[in-house]
């Protein structure tokens, strides 16, 4: 119910069984066992978020069942939800302070040195994945936090920070200056064509670079890569193995979808985890992420499929 935004049904269920507000259960869209508040934040449902808080939702959540992700971590990029959780006393630990770019809080939390670092990290990777300031990077590196450890999805600190786009560019540059080697996939995610042009073509025309370029939203970079032989049917390295067109569909990037379809991207390719087509990914993203642009992509892909038929 929560994942689908059925607000009145959630309200009635809570009236009957108030304890459900903090019950963990299978995620409606992917793995883990979040609480309803986690889902409300992830799917950007502000009315549901408010309803759950008024019904007594724990602002700190039960992260143990959801890979240690707290509601505040999920809300760090959504100011309205973030500020409301903080107003209600949500706990700020090291991961939260990093995501909030709160260097002052981080210094207080790490006053005890290495012993103050959390024993377990959300996602199982490096705490550097959550750093949002150069000062935070330096503090963590000084404490011996790994600069290269991947999380359970294969994202190293450079990967995670490059996915922040323009905000992550100075953070990536700082890690590189500290001696962490960057690859073509990181430059692609940042939309850095100049850096890619300096690399051998064999390192650039790969599935991973193509996927990251699509995720960067840089239409000109993707066009440039296609002209140099990058695979239009590129698949992501994770368990879903989605294609570049799936990625564009999920982002609601109509222009990117048009570029890929013109270049021959498959309309019927299915991912390995959900068995969905790009059009189905666009439909799902419209519901999950509340991105109305995904509906335009879905209509475009449906029209292309109809024309092909």
Task: Give residue-wise pLDDT tens across range 190-237.
Answer: 999 999 999 999 999 999 999 999 999 999 999 999 999 999 999 998
What is residue 237's predicted lDDT score, i.e. its pLDDT? 87
Does the pLDDT of residue 242 top 80, yes or no?
yes
Pick the CATH number of 210-309 from 1.25.40.20, 3.40.50.280, 3.90.650.10, 3.40.718.10: 1.25.40.20
Mean per-residue pLDDT of the chain: 94
Token pair of 231 as six digits: 């695979």
CATH number of 1-88: 1.25.40.20
Answer whether 303's CB lies under 8 Å from 254's CB: no
Question: Each residue of 110-161: pLDDT tens digit?
Answer: 999 999 999 999 999 999 999 999 999 999 999 999 999 999 988 999 999 9
Answer whether 278's CB lies under 8 Å from 249's CB: yes
Does the pLDDT of residue 275 top 60, yes or no?
yes
10-30 average pLDDT score: 93
What is residue 173's predicted lDDT score, i.e. its pLDDT? 95
Q: What is residue 48's three-state secondary structure?
A: helix
Answer whether 162's CB lies under 8 Å from 172's CB: yes
289 class by beta-carbon count within 10 Å (0-12 exposed, 13-18 middle, 19+ buried): middle
**pLDDT > 70 fraction of the chain, expressed in percent and rounded:** 98
Residues spanned by CATH 1.25.40.20 within the chain?
Answer: 1-88, 92-182, 210-309
Answer whether 161's CB lies under 8 Å from 171's CB: yes
Burial 57-79 (b: 16+ CB within 10 A, else e): bebbbbbeebbbbbbbbbbbebe
CATH number of 92-182: 1.25.40.20
What is residue 30's predicted lDDT score, i.e. its pLDDT? 82
The whole-angstrom separation of Cα 154 and Cα 176 is 19
Question: Each residue of 27-70: pLDDT tens digit?
Answer: 888 888 999 999 999 999 999 999 999 999 999 997 788 999 99
pTM of the model: 0.85
The whole-angstrom separation of Cα 258 and Cα 264 is 10
> Please, where are the H alpha helices in 147-253?
157-162, 169-177, 184-189, 193-197, 201-204, 207-216, 219-227, 244-251
pLDDT bracket for residue 262 (50, 70, 90):
very high
């Amino acid at each position: 119910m929560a994942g689908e935004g059925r607000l009145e049904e959630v309200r009635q269920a809570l009236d009957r069984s108030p304890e459900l507000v903090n019950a963990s259960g299978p995620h409606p869209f992917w793995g883990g066992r979040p609480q309803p508040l986690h889902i409300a934040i992830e799917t950007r449902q502000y009315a549901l978020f408010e309803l759950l808080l008024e019904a007594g939702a724990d602002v700190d959540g039960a992260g143990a069942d959801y890979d240690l992700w707290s509601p505040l971590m999920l809300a760090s990029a959504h100011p309205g939800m973030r500020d409301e959780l903080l107003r209600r006393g949500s706990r700020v630990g090291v991961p939260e302070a990093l995501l909030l770019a709160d260097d002052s809080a981080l210094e207080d939390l790490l006053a005890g040195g290495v012993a103050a670092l959390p024993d377990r990290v959300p996602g199982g990777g490096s705490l550097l994945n959550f750093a949002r300031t150069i000062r935070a990077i330096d503090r963590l590196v000084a404490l011996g936090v790994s600069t290269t450890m991947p999380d359970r999805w294969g994202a190293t600190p450079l990967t995670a920070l490059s996915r922040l786009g323009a905000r992550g560019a100075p953070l990536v540059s700082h890690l590189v200056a500290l001696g962490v080697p960057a690859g073509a996939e990181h430059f692609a995610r940042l939309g850095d064509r100049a850096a890619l042009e300096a690399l051998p073509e064999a390192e650039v025309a790969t599935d991973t670079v193509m996927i990251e370029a699509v995720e960067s939203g840089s239409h000109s970079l993707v066009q440039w890569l296609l002209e140099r032989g990058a695979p239009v049917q590129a698949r992501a390295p994770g368990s879903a193995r989605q294609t570049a067109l799936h990625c564009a569909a999920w982002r609601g990037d109509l222009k990117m979808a048009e570029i890929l379809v013109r270049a021959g991207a498959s309309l019927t390719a299915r991912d390995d985890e959900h068995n969905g087509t790009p059009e189905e990914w666009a439909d799902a993203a419209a519901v999950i992420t509340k991105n109305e642009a995904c509906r335009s992509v879905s209509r475009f892909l449906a029209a292309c499929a109809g024309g092909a038929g």
